[in-house]
Amino acid sequence: MNARTGKVICDLTVSVDGYAAGFNQSEERPFGDDGADGTGSLLHAWMFDTPEENRAEAEQMTEAGAFLMGRNMFGPVRGAWDRPWNGWWGDDPPFHAPVFVLTHHARDPQPMDGGTTFHFVTDGIRGGALDRARAVAGDGDVSIMGGATTANQYLAAGLVDELRLHIAPFTLGAGTRLFDGVPGMKLEQLRVRSASLVTHVTYRVVR
């Protein structure tokens, strides 16, 4: 029935204790209290402080044909869309493809430069979001970018084919934790590569 060759991928940076973000997200601190001083992010130091070492993994993050993310990953606005917000990524976001944002608050699609359009989905993780993402991705992959709450919903529903984890060398102790509430899964370890500020691990979900 489904002849798609593309995968559904979960691609997240986590601390060694599994947190994908700290509490108290704000416009200044997209990942909340993540252990860093000031506005830096210990989680994403691998991307911002050592980009040359991690070019392959960073580029791979944005190669999918469509993207899914939770509303908190899209931005710090809660409740109604009562102020302008088009994501953290500027006028030309790195996705260059449709991005489906899970929210309880309807909003018109937001086209951006470079081929990215944010679509706001209010009817759940499957029909409104994943099915539409699969349709536009064609034979390309669909990438679930986070946060952990969104990833956990897809993982618990058995809808993820591949996990790409970027494990940052610190523990956070509190926040939103990947796998929280997700039943056990057998995984196949596909690739492991370490760089100075991260270990990249890719797993296939075994069904």
The two structure tokens encoding residue 121: 């989905």
5: contact with its own copies by CB under 8 A: no
Interface region with its own copies, contact rule CB under 8 A, candidates 23-31, 90-98, 124-132, 192-200: 192-200
Residue number, 47 or 121, with CB nearest to its own copies: 47
Say whether the peptide bond before residue 158 is cis (omega within 30 degrees of 0): no
Scan for tokens 């370890």, then name that residue. 189
Of 16, 56, 80, 106, which lies in the binding site for its own copies, with binding defined by CB under 8 A? 16
Of 2, 5, 39, 189, which lies in the binding site for its own copies, with binding defined by CB under 8 A? 189
151: contact with its own copies by CB under 8 A: no
Q: Compute the least distance from the CB of residue 142 to its own copies, in Å.
A: 21
Distance CA 120, CA 70 (A): 10
187: contact with its own copies by CB under 8 A: yes
The two structure tokens encoding residue 206: 């075994």
Of 8, 13, 18, 176, which lies in the binding site for its own copies, with binding defined by CB under 8 A? 18
Q: Compute the least distance from the CB of residue 204 to its own copies, in Å.
A: 9
Q: Compute the least distance from the CB of residue 83 to its own copies, in Å.
A: 31
Window 44 to 103, contacts with its own copies (CB under 8 A): none
Distance CA 3, CA 31 (A): 37
203: contact with its own copies by CB under 8 A: yes
Q: Is residue 143 a contact partner of residue 64, using CB atoms and an 8 Å limit?
A: yes
CB within 8 Å of 100: residues ≥ 6 apart: 66, 67, 68, 69, 119, 121, 128, 129, 132, 133
32: contact with its own copies by CB under 8 A: no
Residue number, 71 or 200, with CB nearest to its own copies: 200
CB within 8 Å of 172: residues ≥ 6 apart: 15, 17, 19, 22, 34, 35, 42
Distance CA 40, CA 2 (A): 43
Of 58, 172, 176, 207, which lies in the binding site for its own copies, with binding defined by CB under 8 A? 172
Contact residues toward its own copies (CB under 8 A) are 15-18, 35, 42, 163, 165, 167, 169-174, 178-179, 182-189, 192, 194, 196-199, 201, 203
